[in-house]
Each structure stands twice: as C-alpha cells, then as structure tokens.
Amino acid sequence: MGTHLILVGLLSLCSLSFGQECNQQLLENVDFPGNDVTSLFSPDVDHCQQLCTQHPSCDFFTFFRADGTQDNRNFFCLIKAATNGQPTAQAPLQGVTSGFSLKPCSQDLEPCLSKVYQNVDFKDADYRALFTADSEECQRACTQDPACQFFTLLNEAFTAFGNRYRFKCHLKFSWPVPRIPLIEKKTGVTSGFSQITEITQQSVCQGKLFPNTDIPGNDVEVIPAASPEHCQALCSAHSVCTYFSFNSNDFNCNLKKNTEDFVTQAKDGVTSGLPARFCQLDNNTYQRTCTQDPYCQFYSYTNDNFGDPNFRRHCFLKRTITMPAPPKVARLANVVSGFQLRNCNSKTTE
C-alpha cells in the first residue's frame, strides 16, 4: 500500500465550475455583514473583486474604501462565502462597496492592473530600490523585473526625512505561483500541479540538486513544499532566493539568500539545490484534468487505497490567489503606487 502526498487546501470536488449566475453589480455604501472567510488589502474595489474571484472559497466581498470614516479599516477587502453563494444579509454602511465573485463570468485569470494610485502606499514586501524620474518610469522598472509585482514611488514632493528619499522607487514582491497551505503524507492520495502553472515550468534541472546535503543559515522564508523539485520551483519564483534546503521529514522548504558563498554540510533527509528555470515535469491523467480547467492550479486524487471508501477515486481540483496582492495598503501623501504591466502586453490599458 503506497503512501503519497496530499496538498491540503481549499478545494472543489472534480471541478472548479460554479453554479451561480454571473453578477457584476457593485453595491456602493452597502455592507454584506458576516460570512467572512479572510481579510486582505486592496487599493480599490476592482482589485478586491479580482482577489475574490481568485480565492477558491469567495462568493462575495465587502471593500472598505479610502474615503470611509467609520473605522480604521480603509483598504480592507473582506472575502466572504456562503453555502448558497449569496449574502445572508445586506445593510447600509457608508464608505464600503460590496459585490460578487466573477468566477461564473467569462473572466481573465491574469488581469491587467494598469491603474496607479496617488497618495497610496503599498507597504512592505520591498526587495529592491532605485531612483526614477516619475511613476511611469518606476512602473516600467517593475514591469521589466520578473520578480516585481507592484511598486511605490516617493515623488518629488515627498519631504519626509529631509528630502533624502525623493524619486525613490521601491520594487515589491508577492508570490506569482501557487503555494500550498499544508502538506502531509496520506495513504491512497496522489497530488500535483497544473501544467500551465509556473511550478511545472520551473521544475528540476539535472545537476542542480544535492541529496543528503544541507546549506545552514541565511533563511529568508520557510514554506511547505511537496518535494525538492517543488522547493526548487518556489526558490526560482522568489525575488531574492539564491539557493534552498528541503527537509523531507517535515516538508519544510527553506529559501535562502547569500550572494557571497555556498557552504554545504552532509545531512540525511535534506536536499539542497539552486534555482531552476525552463524545465518540465511529466504529465498524467489527473494533471491533464487540472490543466484543462482554467481555474485549477493543483490537485489531489484519492485512489482505491484511500482510508475513507466514500471518497475513493475522487479528483479534487484546487487553487490559491496568485495575482499581485500588497500585504498592506495605506494612505500616504506624495507617493504613487501601482502594479507591473506584464499582463497588459496584449490588452488595452486604462
């Protein structure tokens, strides 16, 4: 009886199709109270709606606009869900806008985010800074850097700290590839990724993995991974990862940054390696099913050895948010923020 991996996350059985009708209506100064799944940050209601659309559980949302004065939740995007896909209640509330997921609609899964936001700071997530003449040049720098997902420019009127930081363009990172909330061993389960995700496109390259080898220290982030190859793909997608170590006992992927040296030591159960690009994984039936569904990013299949007979031979298709999502958004005078335009190459920008 084989033991395989299950990639644990929010999921739908056999398909990520949706039964609700397409509803693009936005309700200004209307709250959908309750039914909260999580809260994220968005610069405007359109971005919040896109986050809801990419979130696997979200049916509807409430966004707290910048002009709201009710409390300190400006730029909060509340992700919500209900069994029937509809809000339990609606209530008047100044400074919020509510709406629905666009999953049932014909939807672009890689939206063009061309809008820039005056006097709005995308806080944190910085990995690189440079000086540019204006926000257009800062946005071009972000677009041309594959690791950059969004930016904030301190413009010429920014006078804090004695004018030292005027024209400073901060490039920022968020994960463009699916990350798995939890990974565990489970008999009778096989898991993997859609072939259209960057995880499969950034898979193993020969000569770049070092079995039973650890690279101690210099960790920048520790996240779950299913295998050394998965950890390698995550390192390849990260803005500053120079190498990694994967622990097969707890499925921890230790992403590391050190541009000065590469010091290894022998350690059982640990595989280390370097970032890899432009490699390909093998395909299978369940992977093809996931690949053919535009919303699916990864999957788990339960075979005849799965413990619960009621869930044997089931294919669970899964996804997470991969669009640019600032960790925090706040008002700040004389700054300009925005997103990379790589998804706008063949689309009309605003």
The pLDDT tens digits for 190-235 are 777 776 555 544 444 554 889 999 999 999 999 999 889 889 888 9
Last residue of a domain, one of 100, 129, 157: 100
**94 and 121 inside one domain:** no
Instruction: Please tell me the predicted confidence (pLDDT) of residue 25.
Output: 94
**251 and 300 inside one domain:** no
69 domain residue, yes or no: yes
Instruction: Please tell me the predicted confidence (pLDDT) of residue 259.
Output: 86
Last residue of a domain, one of 193, 224, 254: 193
**273 and 304 inside one domain:** no
Task: Look at residues 199, 283, 288, 213 and name the one whose alpha carbon lies nearest to residue 243.
Answer: 213
pLDDT tier, 74 (very low <50, low <70, confident <90, very high otherwise): very high
CATH number at residue 83: 3.50.4.10
Q: What is the number of structural domains in the chain? A: 4
Last residue of a domain, one of 281, 306, 328: 281
**269 and 214 inside one domain:** yes
- Report the distance separating Cα 61 and Cα 30, nearest Å: 11
Q: What is the pLDDT of residues 3-50, one digit of tens each?
A: 445 454 444 434 444 457 899 999 999 999 999 999 999 999 999 999
54 domain residue, yes or no: yes
**142 and 164 inside one domain:** yes
173 domain residue, yes or no: yes
91 domain residue, yes or no: yes
The residue-averaged pLDDT of 98-102 equals 96
**314 and 265 inside one domain:** no
DSSP characters over 172-233? E----S---SEEEEEETEEEEE-TTSHHHHB---TT-EETTEE--S-EEEEEE-SSHHHHHH
**210 and 271 inside one domain:** yes
347 domain residue, yes or no: no
Q: What is the pLDDT of residues 167-183, one digit of tens each?
A: 999 999 988 777 777 77
The residue-averaged pLDDT of 308-335 equals 85
Judged by average pLDDT, the poorest of 56-65, 125-134, 258-267, 310-319 is 310-319
**125 and 157 inside one domain:** yes
**136 and 164 inside one domain:** yes
337 domain residue, yes or no: no
133 domain residue, yes or no: yes
Instruction: Please tell me the predicted confidence (pLDDT) of residue 106.
Output: 74
Helix, strand or coil, per DSSP, at residue 235: helix
For 289, the domain range is 285-318
The residue-averaged pLDDT of 119-128 equals 94
12 domain residue, yes or no: no
pTM of the model: 0.75
